Structure 1
Amino acid sequence: MIDVESALKFYRVMAYVVGVMLLVLCVGMVVKYGFDDDAMVAVVGPIHGFLYMIYLVGALNLALKVRWPIGYLLLVLLAGTIPFLSFVMERSVNERVRKLITATA
């Protein structure tokens, strides 16, 4: 279970980081299209993309360890692309995995 707990911790950190970066990217999009300045998007966009790939790997790692159904996994993977959803899914994932850990302990 230690391996699952470390995978959960990594996933939770990445969910927050990707969620925050997505919100910053959304602000950058408003600045780009509202004020005709694309500098913020040019910097934040690739950073969010790179961090999202790490998030995908972390979520997949956790999913394989706890054997999520494919539908739930897809929802978790997509959560990093919709503003605020990564925070909601992080909470759902945390509760789901914690229940599994306590049930097997």
Structure 2
Amino acid sequence: MDLKTAAALRRLRLVSAPEAASFLILLVCTLLKYTTDFNAVPVLGPIHGVLFIVYVLFWADAWNRARWPLGRSALYLALSILPTGGFFAERMLARECEEAVAAARTKQEQGAQDAQEQEPGQAVTPA
């Protein structure tokens, strides 16, 4: 994976927890709306809606860049519609992002070592 893929995973990771928190708060506010006079749903509904749309957009970008298999991409999308799923997605994406950054750095270092091993008169050919 390259650093752009790691960045896409990081963006998805960063929006997953706030999206999950907004979903839980919206559920509590919906319950309070029907049991008390407190009604914050008109405020929290659009906030959660925007966070969900951002999550889906970042999910599509990460899926495109990371080339996830269908099962993994469906899992991340399904986690966005479960009340606490975003928290689990954040943890899974944290591990995946760390692995992507480590792989990109290893690839970059290997390329630098290969370039140093070339003789000064030879042209460097891309791998």
TM-score (ref. length: structure 2): 0.71
Match of 2:6 in 1: 5
* Poorly superposed stretches of 4+, deviation over 2 Å: 96-105
Aligned partners of 2:97, 2:70: CA distance in 1, in Å?
16
Q: CA deviation at 1:33?
A: 2.0
Aligned to 1:47: 47
Percent identity, please.
Answer: 28
Larger radius of gyration: 2
Q: List alignment gaps of at least 5 residues for structure 1.
A: none
Would you tell me which structure has more helix in proportion to its own residues? 1
**SS of alignment partner, residue 83 of structure 1:** coil
Q: Can you give the 5+ residue segments of structure 2 that lack an aligned partner in the other structure? A: 107-127
Root-mean-square deviation (CA, aligned residues, Å) is 1.8
Aligned length: 104
Does the 8 A contact of 2:3 with 2:101 survive in 1? no
1:25-104 to 2 correspondence within 5 Å? 25-37=26-38, 39-103=39-103
- State the partner residue of 2:16: 15
The TM-score normalised by the length of structure 1 is: 0.84
